[in-house]
Amino acid sequence: MTRQEFLTRLRAGLAGMPALAITDIVADYETHFADGQAAGRSEQEVAAALGDPTRLARELRAEQGLKAWQETRSPSTAVTAVFAVLGLGALDFLFLFPLLIGVASTLLAFYIVDIVGILVGGAMLVGGPFYDGGGNGVAALMLAGLGVIAVSVSLSAITLLATIWLVNGLVWYGRLHFRLLKPAIES
């Protein structure tokens, strides 16, 4: 594969990333080719040593997604990091995706339960004074509503921690995966 073919495939694989990032990455790989030629190696030898540019682009996109998650922890960067890690390999995708769907579905169910609990507890708290049971029933209903809200907020916090743990676990897996492949890229 020639320098131009390699760089064209690399650019195509990096499509969608910020233009400045693509320019910097392509310039780095142009430098690899220039250094290789200065050392007496052919373009084909340098391209073979760098590996598959499509795979390399997926790894670089994954690294960018992982960095974005480390810098800004938000739902959008979490999704970017998760899909970047999943994009590293089709085989990994086949094993991780069903597991992630199950875990994500469970977390979503917990979030829904949390929201419903907060709404029900709020209704109990606000509706307590209008309860026609008399005496201690009003206070008991209001306190029960407050308790339901407290349990729901606590469960929300635990679910949020589990979500962060999941995303961090995927980031760790992605970095481990990248570190295992890095020697092959650098050789």
Name the pLDDT band for 187 (thresholds 50, 70, 90). very low
151 in Cβ contact with 113 (< 8 Å) = no
Q: How many CB atoms lie within 10 A of CB 16?
A: 7
Q: Average pLDDT of 151-179?
A: 83
pLDDT of residue 123: 93
Residue entry with tokens 């990091």: 81
Backbone angles phi, psi at 95, to 5 degrees: -85, -40
Question: Which of 67, 87, 86, 69 has its CA nearest to residue 78?
Answer: 69
Element containing residue 157 per DSSP (H, E):
helix 136-186
pLDDT of residue 130: 80
pLDDT of residue 156: 95
Task: State if pTM tops 0.85.
Answer: no
Q: Based on C-alpha coordinates, what's the Rg of the chain?
A: 26
CA distances 183 to 34, 51, 106, 164, 179, Å, are: 21, 11, 37, 29, 7
170 in Cβ contact with 107 (< 8 Å) = no
Residue 88 in this model has a pLDDT that exceeds 80: no
Out of 58-62, 126-130, 140-144, least confident range = 58-62
Residue 86 in this model has a pLDDT that exceeds 90: no
